[in-house]
Chain A
Amino acid sequence: MTLAPETTDLKIELQLESGWFTVCELARLLPGRGVAALLPDGRQAALFRDRSGKLYAIDNRDPFGGAAVLSRGLTGTHQGRPFVASPLLKQRFDLETGVCLDDESVRVATYEVRAA
């Protein structure tokens, strides 16, 4: 066992209908900054990693602005909930549930994600 997973060659994987889908090396994900992944069916996922190393994945498309840019937003925590703020018009999305914190009628899809 090692306490520094960054130094191992762990991969980030997303749970899709077809099974676990490998995206990239864990080391590509800077804490607090996202990356976008292209899924086999053409959808896009935004992946994030927080300071404690926890991983999150939500749909990459900003439902308000329409562009696929959520992976480029700033992350943070609001009342204990991890979120990303869209770089377009700044709406925040809960990284665990996909619900928009500024307009709860809107939510984006979430994915199960792991490092393996």
Chain B
Amino acid sequence: MAKGHILNNIRTLRFHASEMTQQELAAKVGVTRQTIIAIEQNKYSPSLEVAFRIAHVFGVPFDQVFRYDPYA
């Protein structure tokens, strides 16, 4: 069975959103800064709710933030 992994562009999106800090994003999403760090490093796959909230903060569709790589 392929392991698969959810990858994301949060770091890039933060950069394009006036260099938003991890702490600012965490506050807007309602999680801790450590969780944002873990998501950015692909060490944690967030719940659908948090994933959608992140996309909402950046004002972009969900699939511009997250993508699934079945071979990662």
Partners in one complex: no
Measured CB to CB, the residues of B under 8 A from A are: none
Measured CB to CB, the residues of A under 8 A from B are: none
